[in-house]
Amino acid sequence: MEGIMKLNGVINGIVWGPWMLTLLVGTGVYLSLILGLPQLRYFMLMFKEVFGNLGKKKEGEGTISSFAALSTALASTVGTGNIAGVATALHLGGPGALFWMMVSAVFGMTTKMCEVALAVHFREKDPTGNWRGGTMYILEKGVGQKWLAWLFALFAFLASFGIGCAVQANSTAEGFNLGFGIPHMYTGIIVAVLTGLVIVGGLKRISDVTTYLVPFMAIFYIVGAVIVVGTHASAIPVAIGNAVKYAFSDPMALPGAIAGWSVKIALTKGIARGVFSNEAGLGSAPMVHATAVVDHPMRQGMYGLFEVFTDTIVICSLTALAILTSGVLTGQPELTGAKLSLSAFQSVLGATGTMILSVGLALFAFSTILGWYWYSETAGVYVFGIKSIPVIKILWILFVVLGASGEALGGGAAFLTNLWDLADTLNGLMAIPNLIALLLLSGTLRKLVKDFDEKRRTGMLKI
């Protein structure tokens, strides 16, 4: 195991290293330029599509509504990275990490839009009649590379049990233990039962739950963060100024700077945590967006834009501003991760802040377990066939208990750490075949965007 983890560390340094992060952001920049900056052109259209069609029945094929697909995707992306991941990026890279996080999100909006549009364009029905789509189908049907499609699906399947299941279950248990002192094992059993009740009903039940859970948890957390930031409103200009200034100049010049801050770390950690949070370029969310009832691939692409905007530009930036405006980043340099975010909330809300952050952390993590289950099932069906679904469900529930229980199982903490590290690497490896597909199909994307714009102009598509 020690040898495996050393090898994993080397691979991880590559897939989450500077060249890979450059490729991730660079792909977003390239697609933004050839498609006419859709994150700006479609910005207001994005809101009109998402909120203007709530409750309306759309024409087109699919399994669940566009909003339900968005909710399930957001359930997967809005997770512990929005609380602990942002804090870790700031702790390691200083205020400049926030700037680079936002840069990656702006171009990530286009990347996610393109992933989603292609997933809808190349989707197909499985033997049971369910719609399936995602990077594996894009690579097979659009690029003609089935071996690469299979490799992506395998990476996604293996990564899901760590990133999307065990680690999130542990974060859920941590949240309730932090706020209410509930033992990890109890939370693990309860979460496993709740997860089982949801996933046994398939995608429709998952989307039904996330459609109600995601808006509630997002508003719950956003309101708390806005109160914290609003209380320190006078410090907002300084915080934003420092984020921009120290993205390009030596952050060690900042009073109270933590030893080790540098522009390079700010850039790499900011981009890495941004990508990790919104998953733009990794190819995960298209697996659920592909199931939406929609009449044009680019219409669902609007929901991809909104997904990254909500996850990173809204929620991640609020977490970062809460930390920066409250002064805990330089005032308590020993804190990192969720504890740093907790300190920021407690600085204004006291015990209520603890409750908001712990419940928010738990809900974010639990919703991720539900959303990522569909990714696991979709990837598993592609690799192992439709008969593997019952086995995947059982394994998923077992990993929830294993992840949540942690040290209570004896050696569980070490297992969880290794699982996290392996899954983090696999998550990064997913990006390679996904980005290949996006770049090779950039011509197809231009045609889809041109067709979308033309049909809207002539009234054939109404938004």
pLDDT in tens, 324-365: 999 888 887 777 777 888 888 888 888 888 888 888 888 888
User: What does the mean pLDDT of the chain come to?
Assistant: 88
At 174 the pLDDT is 76
CA–CA separation, 319 and 150 (whole Å):
37
pLDDT of residue 222: 92
- At residue 403, the pLDDT reads 84
User: Where are the alpha helices (H) located in 385-441, listed in sequence order?
Assistant: 389-405, 412-440
**149-202 per-position pLDDT tens digit:** 999 999 999 989 888 888 888 878 877 877 778 888 888 899 999 999 999 988
| The pair of three-digit structure tokens given for residue 386, joined into one six-digit string | 């439709």
- Give the span between the Cα atoms of 273 and 266, in whole angstroms: 11
Per-residue tokens: 444: 């197809």
Give pLDDT, residue 187: 87
Mean pLDDT of 14-34: 89
pLDDT value, residue 406: 65
Alpha-carbon distance 48 to 53, whole Å? 8
CA atoms of 55 and 124, how far apart (whole Å): 25
pLDDT of residue 98: 93
What is the distance between the alpha carbons of residues 183 and 181, in angstroms, rounded to a whole number? 6
Averaged pLDDT for residues 444-451:
96
pLDDT more than 70, % of the chain: 96
User: Mind listing the pLDDT tens digit for each residue in 373-411?
Assistant: 999 999 999 999 999 999 999 999 999 988 887 655 444
| pLDDT-wise least confident of 11-20, 35-44, 235-244 | 11-20
Residue pair 341/323 in contact (Cβ under 8 Å)? The answer is: yes
Lookup result for tokens 């500077």 = 18
Residue 138's closest CA among 459, 437, 341? Answer: 437
* Sign of the four-CA dihedral 357, 284, 454, 26: positive
Q: Where are the domains of the chain?
A: 2-458
139 has a pLDDT exceeding 90: yes
- Residue 115 in this model has a pLDDT that exceeds 80: yes
Of the two residues 439 and 404, the one the predictor is more confident about is 439
Res 140: pLDDT: 95
Kindly compute the dihedral angle of the four CA atoms of residues 8, 28, 164, 366, in this order, to the nearest 10 degrees.
150
Count of residues for the chain? 463
Q: How far apart are CA 279 and CA 281, in angstroms?
A: 6
2-458 fold: Amino acid/polyamine transporter I (1.20.1740)
* CA separation for the pair 400, 405 (Å, rounded): 8
Q: Which tokens in the block code for residue 99?
A: 């700037």
